[in-house]
Chains A and B, each alone.
Chain A
Amino acid sequence: MRQFELTAPTTVDDALATRGTFLAGGTTLVDLMKLDVLTPQQVLDINGLPLRGIDTSDGLRFGALERMADIAAHPGVYPVVSRALLLSASQQLRNMASIGGNLLQRTRCTYFRDVAMPCNRRDPGSGCPAITGANRMHAVLGTSEHCVATHASDVAVALVALDAEITLVSEDGERVVALADFYRLPGETPEVENDLRPGELITEVRVPRLDWASRSTYVKVRDRQSYEFALCSAAVALDVQDGQITDARVAAGGVATVPWRLRAVEEALRGKPVTLASFEDAAAEATEGVKPLAHNAFKGSLLKRTIIRALLELTEGELR
């Protein structure tokens, strides 16, 4: 870790007026500073900013500094969101990590985290050793020849499924962006992970009201039972009327470079009866465009199976 200067602004205006790296829970930033991946000279501790509050009266609204643990425990939060949070990291990390920071967390690609190795995301143009290296954990969707790193967040997958929006402020003013549009595919510029502009701060996360999201879940498949990133995950919400699926939201994690909305799967589910065959047919749509690497070819199959499992869990006792 390099020397840095730490200040703690108490108003959003003060925070925006100072150039520096924002520190919320610190669970990504401090980790990467220790690894020398991030070397900010000016760190702004924003925990004193009034970016708090959990409101579930009309959809969901979270202040950006709300902790993962507090949102997960809030009774009005849709199951897919709280489950995604509870299956993330550890209780200690969830107690520290903010929702805003979670959405900005960096990839867990081991090459990104090792400064002795090239990485196009960390050092543009230096190369991507993951493409030919240890890539079992890497993405099969949304990849490019420059980067195959997986997006690490669980809750972002749930939020993308629910059409969440985030509020961003800078000295130029405030804007609201759909979370799904916020993330950028690596393409030719893997160093650009999202639409965050210099000096911009996430202040709020909003999820539009979706009553039938009370029937939702997050299934996370991983190499151990807790405290591990997803090999594959599925965020699914389902609207079922009289044994028919009337609407669905489906997104996947652990398999793509950004939280991966699966609109084709949703479309395939709409109007179908609640049967295993419907689920299998719809899940087959998930793997459109899958590009396996040497060690992660199983992820296509696993993605379909994860979606089917989530659908089965949401319709237990109703399957025809």
Chain B
Amino acid sequence: MTARVDAPLKVTGQARYGADHWFPDMTYGYLVLSTIAHGRIEAMDVTSAKNAPGVIAVYTPFDPLVLHKPSTFLGETWVPLQDREVAYYGQPIGVVIAETFEQARDAAMLVDATYEVLPAVTSMSEGMATAEDPPPSRFGSQSALELLADGVASIEDAIAASPVVVEATYSTAPQNHAAMEPHSAIATWENGVLTVYSGNQASNLQADELAGALAVDGDRVRAVNPFVGGAFGGKGRTSAPAFLAAAASRALGRPVKAALTREQVFTATAGRASTVQKLTLGADKNGILIAVRHDSWCSTAMDRSFVEPTGQGTSGQYYTTPNLSLSQKIVPLNLPPTTFMRAPGEAPGSFALESAMDELAVALDVDPIELRLRNASTAPIGKDLQWSSKHLDECFRIGADRFGWSERTPGGRTDGDWLVGMGTASALFPAGRFPASVELTLRADGTAVVSTSGADPGTGLLTVLAQVSGESLDIATDRVTPRLGHSTYPAGGFSAGSTGTASAGTAVMVAAAQVIDDLLGLATAPGAPFEGVEASYEGGAVVGGGRTMPFGELLHALGRESLTATGTSAPGEEVTKHSFGSFGAQFCEVRVHRWTREARVTRMLGVFDAGRIINEKTARGQIAGGMIWGVSAALHEALEFEESGRLANGDFAGYLVPVNADIPNVDVEFVHHPDTLHNALGAKGVGEVGIVGMAAAVANAVYNATGIRVRHIPITIEDLLID
């Protein structure tokens, strides 16, 4: 077996992603986007578009495809074209369906919208004055938390009583997931059943959303998604082209393919919020924290559909403190919507907290690692449930040794004309599970098939499913065929919250125990080969009475082609006993040119405690990808919105992500401590924790190299020019 089950298909171009499918009589949809940030569409002239060559239909709010807002456990999802309101520049306001992609695109350019333009709020600085409490029942919506030690009247008092105080305001830029695969879909209707081929994070969730949007029964919708070209939270919800393709296909009776262009992806999907965070840390002379105050603001769309909570997962969990105050406000803006993006909350939140901790270390003249270890939490702050397994100290010890941390000096060092600095930060991401079901089938040919509805958008889940199944069935991994990405499979393996392996993996263990049990039942039934024998299962075979029969042979003997069991697993009692998280120590070395002030990361290392690592290679890939994205957030990525609400850099020429030359060396190490208090498999998550803390580690290294503290990301050349 290859290291990744899906690698041969991907590297030979045979993996068929959603938009790679093709059907006879297929039509093509091209979206029309708004060119104002706020207002009402007064009219849309579609005459020339409708008369353009090859055009089949033009749908607008004046002649819409009917869609209903679907509601799932993620809440409501917005659907396009249902009203004339425009809430951001680049919002989908129409779709042209034509015989070819080119015809649809050319006609879309002929659609002429006129607007009643209303005042728009497009910047955080403008919107901060009217910040609001988050609406209830949204992800991360807790608006305030205050814990005070006995006898302390207020957080202000606790700070005032602290011998050493650092206080600063940090900000982080809005980002787009910018996945390689643009949001796209192909929809077909056959005999009243809709099939949609589209990249997503859980095919069952997509099928539910489409059924809701189209007001049809769930069993009439199939979502197919065997491969995903990157998701990162941005393909949790169903995209505008998927809704429009599905509805247009129903209306036209033909297959419809709709894909966003790269430029459209930047506004017609959702991205990461901007954040502003005010941090105050109070400590005693030994660096023991007395008070932590973390006030957060995040941008959100005008529908207030998402909150990026930056304090709860960071200051609420990292460091023990007798006095803690967290607040979260939202700033509604006329900008594209926000949503989950790798470590939502923790990624920008850790930039602020871990920068502030570095500032505190400087103020105290204490080693930054030492400061962190002195204050390391044993439980989320104010909670009784201790971390089930936390080896952050070991991560720092190994990391410091491996990275050469002892060579770091407070003022950095120089190498020719380069100023060289080292930085560090902690990473923490909660470990959780979603309910998951998997189907496990033993086949008479001696192989097994494992199926669940979730997705492997590069995470390695497909390979891990095969491994855990092989292990649970005590057979070689290459005898297991893993299947993901079909909504008819049992619901499980949602690629979200760093839960895929722990959730689906434990369900596999349950399914394996069941199918083995069923197999033994069949083996010992009257007339079966092991009748009347004390039989057991080992090495992929039934053993008893001096005989060994591999399960394939046994199924043959029983006249069966296969035997299937379903296993389900969900969070249970363990959540009443412990708190769970993955932890990490991030290190990086940054060089800043003495004259021209470019900051370049030259080395980085992350040492992580993520429980049992099922597959070292795919886990490393996840962590390294997260760390690289952290560098990208620290030095490159920012959506630049103009006052008009127009995105000034909505393509890969303007929206910078690191290229290979920016990422010379990524070193990842794991400490291996299976966490069986969390789940039977012992695995925690690796999908998100790798990005957490990295931006702060970069900023802290920049400070070490230059003495310049930059409290916003991305850090660019002008931040480091001193004249």
User: A-side interface residues toward B, CB under 8 Å?
Assistant: 1-2, 36, 108, 110, 116-117, 133-134, 219, 221-228, 231-232, 298, 301-302, 305-306, 308-309, 312
Q: Are the CB atoms of B654 and A219 closer together than 8 Å?
A: no
C-alpha gap A225/B591 in the complex (Å): 12
C-alpha gap A224/B662 in the complex (Å): 7
C-alpha gap A146/B723 in the complex (Å): 29
Binary interface encoding of chain B residues 696-723 relative to chain A, with 1 for a CB under 8 A from any of its CBs, else 0: 0000000000000000000011100101
Q: Are the CB atoms of B35 and A226 closer together than 8 Å?
A: no
Tell me which of B136-144, B405-413, B593-601 binds A: B593-601
For this complex, 8 residue pairs linking A to B, each with C-beta atoms less than 8 Å apart, are A1-B102, A134-B648, A134-B649, A223-B636, A225-B659, A298-B717, A302-B721, A305-B597
Q: Are the CB atoms of B636 and A110 closer together than 8 Å?
A: no
Q: Are the CB atoms of A223 and B35 closer together than 8 Å?
A: no
B99 to chain A, nearest CB (A): 15
Chain B: interface size category: 20 to 34
In the assembled complex, B532 has its CB within 8 A of some CB on chain A = no
C-alpha gap A86/B35 in the complex (Å): 38
In the assembled complex, B522 has its CB within 8 A of some CB on chain A = no
Interface residue from B109, B648, B662 paired with A225 (Cβ < 8 Å) = B662
C-alpha gap A117/B635 in the complex (Å): 28
Q: Are the CB atoms of B656 and A228 closer together than 8 Å?
A: yes
Interface residue from A1, A226, A305 paired with B659 (Cβ < 8 Å) = A226
C-alpha gap A1/B100 in the complex (Å): 13
C-alpha gap A214/B659 in the complex (Å): 31
C-alpha gap A36/B108 in the complex (Å): 12
Q: Are the CB atoms of B417 and A133 closer together than 8 Å?
A: no
Task: List residues 565-601 of chain B with CB under 8 A from any CB of chain A.
Answer: 593, 595-598, 600
Q: Are the CB atoms of A231 and B417 closer together than 8 Å?
A: no
Nearest residue in B to A299 (C-beta to C-beta)? B718
Nearest residue in A to B598 (C-beta to C-beta)? A221
Q: Are the CB atoms of B656 and A108 closer together than 8 Å?
A: no
Nearest residue in A to B636 (C-beta to C-beta)? A224
In the assembled complex, B661 has its CB within 8 A of some CB on chain A = yes
C-alpha gap A116/B716 in the complex (Å): 29
In the assembled complex, B640 has its CB within 8 A of some CB on chain A = yes
C-alpha gap A247/B723 in the complex (Å): 29
C-alpha gap A90/B28 in the complex (Å): 32
In the assembled complex, B653 has its CB within 8 A of some CB on chain A = yes
Q: Are the CB atoms of B595 and A305 closer together than 8 Å?
A: yes
C-alpha gap A117/B596 in the complex (Å): 33
In the assembled complex, B642 has its CB within 8 A of some CB on chain A = yes
C-alpha gap A151/B717 in the complex (Å): 20
C-alpha gap A308/B597 in the complex (Å): 13
Task: Identify the 10 closest CB pairs spanning chains A and B, nearest first.
Answer: A134-B648, A225-B661, A298-B718, A226-B661, A309-B595, A305-B595, A221-B596, A225-B662, A226-B659, A227-B659
In the assembled complex, B75 has its CB within 8 A of some CB on chain A = no
Interface residue from A36, A116, A222, A224 paired with B35 (Cβ < 8 Å) = A116
Q: Are the CB atoms of B723 and A301 closer together than 8 Å?
A: yes
Known A-B contacts A305-B595, A305-B597, A309-B596; A110 and B717 likewise in contact (beta carbons under 8 Å): no
Q: Are the CB atoms of B417 and A312 closer together than 8 Å?
A: yes
User: Which residues of B sit under 8 angstroms from A116, Cβ to Cβ?
Assistant: 35
Q: Are the CB atoms of B648 and A133 closer together than 8 Å?
A: yes
Q: Are the CB atoms of B661 and A36 closer together than 8 Å?
A: no
C-alpha gap A36/B110 in the complex (Å): 12
Name, among B35, B636, B646, the residue most crowded by chain A CB atoms within 10 Å (CB to CB): B646
C-alpha gap A117/B717 in the complex (Å): 28
User: Which residues of B sit under 8 angstroms from A226, Cβ to Cβ?
Assistant: 659-662
Nearest residue in B to A117 (C-beta to C-beta)? B646
User: Which residues of A sit under 8 angstroms from B648, Cβ to Cβ?
Assistant: 110, 133-134
Interface residue from A108, A134, A223, A225 paired with B716 (Cβ < 8 Å) = A223
Nearest residue in A to B716 (C-beta to C-beta)? A223
Q: Are the CB atoms of B596 and A305 closer together than 8 Å?
A: yes
In the assembled complex, B658 has its CB within 8 A of some CB on chain A = yes
Instruction: List 8 additional A-B contacts (Cβ < 8 Å) besides A134-B648, A224-B658, A308-B595.
Output: A221-B596, A221-B598, A226-B661, A301-B721, A302-B718, A305-B596, A309-B417, A312-B417
Q: Are the CB atoms of A110 and B654 closer together than 8 Å?
A: yes
User: Which residues of A sit under 8 angstroms from B417, Cβ to Cβ?
Assistant: 309, 312
C-alpha gap A223/B714 in the complex (Å): 10
In the assembled complex, B667 has its CB within 8 A of some CB on chain A = no
C-alpha gap A226/B648 in the complex (Å): 21
User: Which residues of B sit under 8 angstroms from A231, Cβ to Cβ?
Assistant: 717
Binary interface encoding of chain B residues 633-647 relative to chain A, with 1 for a CB under 8 A from any of its CBs, else 0: 001100010100010
B635 to chain A, nearest CB (A): 8
Q: Are the CB atoms of A219 and B649 closer together than 8 Å?
A: no
C-alpha gap A305/B720 in the complex (Å): 12
Q: Are the CB atoms of A221 and B656 closer together than 8 Å?
A: no
Binary interface encoding of chain B residues 100-137 relative to chain A, with 1 for a CB under 8 A from any of its CBs, else 0: 00100010010000000000000000000000000000
Q: Are the CB atoms of B598 and A298 closer together than 8 Å?
A: no
Q: Are the CB atoms of B595 and A224 closer together than 8 Å?
A: no
Q: Are the CB atoms of B649 and A302 closer together than 8 Å?
A: no
User: Which residues of A sit under 8 angstroms from B642, Cβ to Cβ?
Assistant: 133-134
Interface residue from B596, B656, B716 paired with A219 (Cβ < 8 Å) = B596
User: Which residues of A sit under 8 angstroms from B654, Cβ to Cβ?
Assistant: 110
Q: Are the CB atoms of B596 and A302 closer together than 8 Å?
A: yes
User: Which residues of B sit under 8 angstroms from A224, Cβ to Cβ?
Assistant: 635-636, 656, 658-659, 661-662
User: Which residues of B sit under 8 angstroms from A312, Cβ to Cβ?
Assistant: 417, 595
User: Which residues of A sit under 8 angstroms from B640, Cβ to Cβ?
Assistant: 134
Binary interface encoding of chain B residues 644-676 relative to chain A, with 1 for a CB under 8 A from any of its CBs, else 0: 001011000110101111100000000000000
C-alpha gap A36/B30 in the complex (Å): 15
Name, among B35, B596, B716, B717, the residue most crowded by chain A CB atoms within 10 Å (CB to CB): B596
User: Which residues of B sit under 8 angstroms from A110, Cβ to Cβ?
Assistant: 648-649, 654
Q: Are the CB atoms of B653 and A108 closer together than 8 Å?
A: yes
B633 to chain A, nearest CB (A): 13
User: Which residues of A sit under 8 angstroms from B596, Cβ to Cβ?
Assistant: 219, 221, 232, 302, 305-306, 309
Interface residue from B635, B646, B717 paired with A302 (Cβ < 8 Å) = B717
C-alpha gap A305/B417 in the complex (Å): 12
Known A-B contacts A134-B640, A223-B636, A305-B597; A2 and B717 likewise in contact (beta carbons under 8 Å): no
Q: Are the CB atoms of B595 and A306 closer together than 8 Å?
A: yes
B271 to chain A, nearest CB (A): 17
Q: Are the CB atoms of A309 and B656 closer together than 8 Å?
A: no
C-alpha gap A231/B109 in the complex (Å): 33
C-alpha gap A2/B105 in the complex (Å): 10
Nearest residue in B to A116 (C-beta to C-beta)? B35
A318 to chain B, nearest CB (A): 15
C-alpha gap A116/B717 in the complex (Å): 30
B339 to chain A, nearest CB (A): 24
User: Which residues of B sit under 8 angstroms from A36, Cβ to Cβ?
Assistant: 109
Nearest residue in A to B653 (C-beta to C-beta)? A108
User: Which residues of A sit under 8 angstroms from B656, Cβ to Cβ?
Assistant: 223-224, 228
Nearest residue in A to B722 (C-beta to C-beta)? A301
C-alpha gap A152/B41 in the complex (Å): 38
C-alpha gap A36/B105 in the complex (Å): 11
Q: Are the CB atoms of B659 and A298 closer together than 8 Å?
A: no
User: Which residues of A sit under 8 angstroms from B598, Cβ to Cβ?
Assistant: 221-222, 225
Nearest residue in A to B714 (C-beta to C-beta)? A223
Q: Are the CB atoms of B717 and A223 closer together than 8 Å?
A: yes
C-alpha gap A36/B598 in the complex (Å): 35
C-alpha gap A108/B653 in the complex (Å): 9
User: Which residues of B sit under 8 angstroms from A225, Cβ to Cβ?
Assistant: 598, 600, 659, 661-662
User: Which residues of B sit under 8 angstroms from A301, Cβ to Cβ?
Assistant: 721, 723
C-alpha gap A279/B195 in the complex (Å): 68
User: Which residues of A sit under 8 angstroms from B662, Cβ to Cβ?
Assistant: 224-226
User: Which residues of A sit under 8 angstroms from B597, Cβ to Cβ?
Assistant: 302, 305
User: Which residues of B sit under 8 angstroms from A309, Cβ to Cβ?
Assistant: 417, 593, 595-596
Nearest residue in B to A297 (C-beta to C-beta)? B718
A295 to chain B, nearest CB (A): 9
Task: List residues 613-648 of chain B with CB under 8 A from any CB of chain A.
Answer: 635-636, 640, 642, 646, 648
A223 to chain B, nearest CB (A): 6
C-alpha gap A225/B35 in the complex (Å): 34
Nearest residue in A to B35 (C-beta to C-beta)? A116
User: Which residues of A sit under 8 angstroms from B649, Cβ to Cβ?
Assistant: 110, 134
